[in-house]
Amino acid sequence: MKAITLQAPGGLENLQLTDLTDPGQPGTGEIRVAIHATSLNFHDLLVANGSIPTADQRIMMADGAGVVEAVGDGVTDFKPGDHVVSTFFPQWADGLAFDSVGDFRQTPGDGANGFAAEFVVRPSTHFTLAPEGWSHAEAATITTSGLTAWRALVVDAGLKAGDTVLTLGTGGVSITALQIAKSMEAKVIITSSSDEKLARASELGADHVINYRTNPDWGKAVRELTNGKGADVVIELGGPGTMAQSIEAVRVGGHIALIGVLTGREGVIPTSVLMAKQARIQGLIVGNRRQQHDFVKAMNQTGIRPVISDSFIGLNSLSEAFSHQSDGAHFGKITVAW
């Protein structure tokens, strides 16, 4: 069986196409899945380049989509031939986050072996069904970025029609958030340093776009676009370098979903402004299996399909895909299929 493993201490040059023993047939409660695609996330890149240490010869990638080949005794929710997609926190079935969801020790491609492999045998609870009619590459976008956007908007913020959403950047989370919000008849403001990407976001339905490089006071711009009110929900992906502007942009009593730390892990937060806004900052990392079920159900209902800007073919193209991701030129998701 072929797989992409990472040789410690990391670095894209240390990603290797490796021959491993086939995982065999599933035991009780398990399923055997032929994996056909993965999608790239910032977290995967941090593992690959060595910024997040992991075990030597770790099989890469948190996201995996494929076809069930066999089911073990006691498995009733899947059958051979089903198209499935992996979960980011396989131990988190439902409910609120708990201690072991506070780290990545059981997350595939980080603390546990991931899905950059031809076959896996895992407990059936590590998967959900994929949306109907989606390609494996499309389904692979659900595990991390897709579910993150869904939880931020629908589960945590309680988005409703007529709300205004501000989302930062044009990566996978932001573009999925744009699609979800528009499907729920919300208004969307999106930021980027690229006018070309902003034009593409407008084509997808963004109501307003802001180039944060030419308009660094974009928090004020958001308030102006909302007649002084501010955004009901902010999808905050930058971290400390953008948080002050996000707090400026959010309405009184609004919701800031803290998802990314692209500008660093520590910084100064204008706490007095946050208090005056009486806004909520909710940190989140992906979501649980029940939320993924709900997201898949919504995708089946709405007909939304993920935006994939770059598709690579073959397991051995993963390093090239990561290099492309590092350049930051993509719009939406990058996938690798095999």
pLDDT for the residue 262:
75
Q: Mean pLDDT across the chain, nearest whole number?
A: 97
CATH number of the domain encompassing residue 242:
3.40.50.720
Integer Cα distance of 105 and 329 in angstroms: 31
Stated pTM of the model: 0.96
| 175 and 264 fall within a common domain | yes
Spacing of C-alpha 243 from chain mean position:
20
109 inside domain = yes
Where does a domain end: 238, 268, 283? 283
295 inside domain = no
271 inside domain = yes
253 inside domain = yes
**Kind of pairing, strands 187-192 and 65-71?**
unpaired
The answer to whether the bond into 123 is cis (omega within 30° of 0) is no
Among 19, 107, 31, smallest CA distance to 75 is for 31
| 129 and 154 fall within a common domain | no
| 169 and 66 fall within a common domain | no
| 315 and 237 fall within a common domain | no
| 133 and 213 fall within a common domain | no
pLDDT for the residue 78:
98
| 136 and 153 fall within a common domain | no
Q: What is the pLDDT of residues 266-312, one digit of tens each?
A: 778 899 999 999 999 999 999 999 999 999 999 999 999 999 999 99
Domain containing residue 109: 2-141+306-337
CATH number of the domain encompassing residue 319:
3.90.180.10
Spacing of C-alpha 329 from chain mean position:
17
Q: Identify any residues that bridge with 52 across adjacent strands, giving them in sequence order.
A: none
Cα-Cα-Cα-Cα dihedral of 49, 55, 60, 65, to 10°?
-140
Vertex 237: Cα angle to 271 and 131 (nearest 5): 135
The domain tally of the chain equals 2
Which residues, at least 6 apart from 230, have a Cβ–Cβ distance to it below 8 Å? 164, 222, 223, 249, 250, 251, 252, 254, 277
| 18 and 31 fall within a common domain | yes
| 168 and 268 fall within a common domain | yes
Q: 3-state class of 243 per DSSP? A: helix
Which pair of tokens denotes residue 326?
A: 């590092």
Q: What is the pLDDT of residues 3-59, one digit of tens each?
A: 999 999 999 999 999 999 999 999 999 999 999 999 999 999 999 999 999 999 999
Q: What is the pLDDT of residues 78-135, one digit of tens each?
A: 999 999 999 999 999 999 999 989 889 999 999 999 999 999 999 999 999 999 999 9
Which residues, at least 6 apart from 275, have a Cβ–Cβ distance to it below 8 Å? none
Integer Cα distance of 273 and 89 in angstroms: 34
The residue type found at 204 is L
Q: Contact at 8 Å (CB) between 284 and 258? A: yes
301 inside domain = no
The residue type found at 180 is I
